[in-house]
Amino acid sequence: QVQLQESGPGLVKPSGTLSLTCGISGGSISTTNWWSWVRQPPGKGLEWVGEIYHSGTTNYSPSLKSRVTISVDKSKNQFSLNLRSVTAADTAIYYCARDLRVRGVTNAFDIWGRGTLVTVSS
Amino acid sequence: DIQLTQSPSFLSASVGDRVTITCRASQGISSFLAWYQQKPGKAPKLLIYAASTLQSGVPSRFSGSGSGTEFTLTISSLQPEDFATYSCLHLTGYPRTFGQGTKLEIK
């Protein structure tokens, strides 16, 4: 079955760039699914960051759009998140997730990675 | 943006109790609502999608209902493993947004 695994630095300096990768195993990124990033500040709720299709088409949260880029690497079967100009407010557990398609429409995120904590601190 | 408001934010209940959590949307979202369970240190687990469809492998004591702007998640008889945080998520347009979460604690 499809599994997702986040990887990347756990500590980023303020004003730096947060870079994470989500590796996909047990399946291909080149399906009809969209692939998302979701984050969760410690002790707080979940926030959708954005998503990508294997063609490279993206959708982003308006609150992060000016700082975020999500990209896909089909040769490595993975997708990535870059978040620029980070502050302490970007400290969170970052999850990657796959959407659940029902009759061609996203109805949920059904498969999640285990998440990775990224701390923004000098 | 569509806002999702869950109530209550905290809920204290006992094993065997029937509990209901509500999620209200700031505008109509048809049935594009999902419910998640999250335990400390773990990723969210999908319980319900399309407002009322039980995800494969999820116990039948979980059920969802609603459409438009008001939705409910019901656990018919609480089990010890059900004490967790529950969140709703809408998937009508962008951005996707989650409710603030409901923490279900043991009384």
B48-105 pLDDT tens trace = 999 999 999 999 999 999 999 999 999 999 999 999 999 999 999 999 999 999 999 9
Contact A122, A11 (CB under 8 A): no
Place of tokens 């975020």: A68
**Dihedral (CA of A65, B93, A1, A32) sign:** negative
3-state secondary structure of B6: strand
Q: Is B99 near chain A, with CB under 8 Å? A: yes
For residue B49, the chain A residues in CB contact (below 8 A) are: 100, 102, 107-108, 110
- Chain A: closest CA distance from residue B49 (Å): 6
What average pLDDT does the structure give for chain A? 97
- Count the Cβ atoms, other than its own, within 10 Å of residue A78: 20
Write the pLDDT tens digit of every residue in A58-75: 999 999 999 999 999 999
Contact B51, B71 (CB under 8 A): yes
Show the CA angle centred on residue A14, arms to residues A6 and A50, nearest 5°. Answer: 40
Q: Is A45 near chain B, with CB under 8 Å? A: yes
* Predicted pLDDT at A31: 92
What would the mean pLDDT of B42-48 be, rounded to a whole number? Answer: 98
Q: Give the span between the Cα atoms of B97 and B37, in whole angstroms.
A: 16
Closest CA to A34 of A50, A51, A56, A21: A51
What would the mean pLDDT of A74-102 be, rounded to a whole number? Answer: 97
**Dihedral (CA of A115, A118, B1, B2) sign:** positive
Contact A72, A31 (CB under 8 A): no
**Dihedral (CA of B44, A43, B7, A107) sign:** negative
For residue A105, the chain B residues in CB contact (below 8 A) are: 32
Instruction: Tell me the pLDDT band of A108, cut-offs 50, 70 and 90.
Output: very high
